Chain A
Amino acid sequence: SAVISQKPSRDICQRGTSLTIQCQVDSQVTMMFWYRQQPGQSLTLIATANQGSEATYESGFVIDKFPISRPNLTFSTLTVSNMSPEDSSIYLCSVVGATQGEQYFGPGTRLTVT
């Protein structure tokens, strides 16, 4: 399995500002993903974070709003830009483990935008 940490664990931000969320994994992994979980909802994939190239975004998510960096095989960041109250969610990163394709999730970052 993989051990994943995220920073910050939670934050309260004002609308119009930006927040960068960090995801650190204890081993090198090829595939990392970012998900959003809006209040009372299930998880929705935002993007696949690719090492050495631009992230691949899902329908409804754009790079200008959710820029992603993946500088190496153990670390990624997701920025939520120009925030509005609708961005209030839990943001989670996940990785694919070394065997059998099992995915592991970080503890999440709870974001509240006021």
Chain B
Amino acid sequence: KQEVTQIPAALSVPEGENLVLNCSFTDSAIYNLQWFRQDPGKGLTSLLLIQSSQREQTSGRLNASLDKSSGRSTLYIAASQPGDSATYLCAPHNAGNMLTFGGGTRLMVKP
């Protein structure tokens, strides 16, 4: 059974800092890995999808890396802004398009 751990659980930083959010998973037989953002009381917004054959994916100030063999993914956020404040969720995809979610990293970026 896939288990996902995200570190840190919470993070509070001043605006402008570069951030690193970590995700580890126990079953390396994944097809893809997806990072999501969730604002309080809202649904999930897909940020990045990394296919198992890829090592990283970039979108704007976001860069996600994947080391499938070691069961790790990292989300880098450059030049953080208050609008980045949200919970970030990592979810590897296993067979049948099944996602397993980590507990998330709750990010607060202070002006």
Contact = CB atoms under 8 A, between A and B. Distances in A.
A102 B46 contact: yes
A106 B43 contact: yes
Contact of B44 (A31, A44, A45, A92): A92
Contacts of B31: 101
Interface stretch (B12-20, B75-83, B101-109): B101-109
B98 interface: yes
Given A31-B97, A42-B101, A42-B102, A105 B49 contact: no
B32 interface: yes
A33 B32 CA distance: 17
B99 interface: yes
Nearest to B100: A45
| Contact-size category for B | 20 to 34
Interface residues of A, number: 23
A105 B98 CA distance: 13
A104 interface: yes
B32 A100 contact: yes
Contacts of A41: 103
Contacts, number: 58
- Classify the secondary structure of A's interface with B: strand
Given A31-B97, A101-B49, A102-B49, A92 B43 contact: yes
Given A42-B101, A42-B104, A45-B98, A101 B32 contact: yes
A92 to B, nearest CB: 6
Interface of A: 1, 31, 33, 41-45, 48, 90, 92, 94, 96, 100-108, 110
22 contacts: A33-B97, A42-B89, A42-B103, A43-B101, A45-B100, A48-B98, A92-B43, A94-B99, A100-B51, A101-B31, A101-B49, A101-B51, A101-B97, A102-B34, A102-B49, A103-B34, A103-B97, A104-B46, A105-B36, A105-B46, A107-B43, A108-B41
